Amino acid sequence: MNENIHRINNLIKMVPGLKYDANTGLFETDRKALYDFAVMVVQVCAREADKGGVDPGGYIREHFGVEE
């Protein structure tokens, strides 16, 4: 579980426009940054699904309307 939290935090830090407040331990953002984060999560999930073969990642991308 702890490893997954670190992976998610690393993804969050990659989102442009996302600001971390060290005093509160919270992220401050706007809708665009949240949208970018959601797209990134879908892309990561689709890439992992692609490892299973038979294009399940393609289905995920199509379902969420996200391109690679």
Range of the domain at 7: 2-64
Of the candidates 3, 2, 10, the one whose C-alpha atom is nearest the C-alpha of residue 44 is: 10
**Overall pTM > 0.85:** no
pLDDT tier, 30 (very low <50, low <70, confident <90, very high otherwise): confident
- The CB density around residue 15, as the number of other CB atoms within 10 Å, is 19
56: left (phi over 0), alpha (psi -120 to 50) or beta: alpha
pLDDT tens column, 34-57 = 888 888 888 888 888 888 876 777
| CA 12 to mean position of chain CA atoms | 7
Task: State the total domains in the chain.
Answer: 1
Q: What proportion of the chain, given as a percentage, has pLDDT over 90?
A: 0
User: H helices of 1-68, where?
Assistant: 2-13, 31-50, 56-64
CB 23 within 8 A of CB 45: no
